[in-house]
Structure 1
């Protein structure tokens, strides 16, 4: 898959951009997830980087959980017969990501990449509710991140 021509990525900000990865990084991470999952053809998705208040509001509204979480995935629900490359939307909560990176002794950039890959895989239909699904998804994430030069995010530090 040619990342430049087949991927349309919309990036939005609900907080100041200072210290956040560049759009090119998100494009690279999403492209790696799509390629690693064997996605062929065009793909379009949006990523919104949010603060803790917006992250909490989104998680409460859509999941009934009154706290900010690291990444939320909203797969596109297209009507039957509508053929578009739209995968859906991701919301990544920067303060939660930064706290987790510190607690897990990971570089911020590596954790940003992991959450982006993880969320993109959710948009492609991967899940981790059942143990077998979780093992499959984690193994795929680990392979994709290794291809980006990032250590296994599930290995204890």
Structure 2
């Protein structure tokens, strides 16, 4: 059974086999977690992302999917990039958000990762309400068959940490 732990802090400072990046579909960096991972991880991550874009991901990574690259200078072996959905008040995109966690764990299994650090995907600039994001994240990880031993949710602030803690309680 996968152990779920919570940490309040900076995901780029974590030690894990894989760190999940809340990426945009271009895979070429951006703001928030994505920008931080690219900055701290260095140019090797961007170089691999560019190769993916030049190859089978020419149109970008679809929402809900995941792909792995090197972790560059991060204290991890891999970065698993996933594209979360933008929250919508008129369309239920919960299945796409759940898919981000499921597909990231699938990539982690393929790589042999035992520890995976996740951000709260889509809850920043993409506007997903943190309580619902926590519900989807925790439930999906709990229900996903994986060989990952520890999933660590690395939450940027106290509000997000509390939302995930309530979900785990």
What is the TM-score of this pair, normalised by structure 1? 0.36
The structure with the largest helix share of the pair is 1
Higher relative contact order (CA 8 A, sep 6+): 2
TM-score by length of 2: 0.34
